[in-house]
Amino acid sequence: MKNSLLLLLTALFLVSCKQNTNKNQGGITETTPEKENTVNFDWLTGKWKRSNEKAGKETFENWNKISPTE
């Protein structure tokens, strides 16, 4: 169990330190940050009612899109 946890933590550390590199025409390697990971959560917009609430209690959520990135 300890070995599996250590292996997982090592893998996560290595992935978090990874950077993309690009070679330009002069042969110099420049480091660039990875592309921003974006996920589309537009399906969340609207009014929602909690389905697993206690009997006699109702809970609601309202999700609005503020901007294309928020």
CB 59 within 8 A of CB 49: yes
Q: Which residue has the tokens 């901007």?
A: 67
In-domain check, residue 2: no
- Measured CA to CA, the distance from residue 62 to residue 44 in angstroms comes to 9
Residue-wise pLDDT for 34-48, tens only, equals 566 778 889 999 999
CB 58 within 8 A of CB 48: no
In-domain check, residue 1: no
Does pTM surpass 0.75?
Answer: no
- Measured CA to CA, the distance from residue 36 to residue 22 in angstroms comes to 17
Residue-wise pLDDT for 5-36, tens only, equals 777 778 777 767 665 555 555 666 655 555 66
In the DSSP assignment, the letter for residue 27 is S
Number of domains in the chain: 1
In-domain check, residue 46: yes
- Measured CA to CA, the distance from residue 13 to residue 36 in angstroms comes to 19
In-domain check, residue 68: yes
In-domain check, residue 63: yes
- Position 34 scores a pLDDT of 58
60 is in which domain, residue-wise? Answer: 41-70
In-domain check, residue 24: no
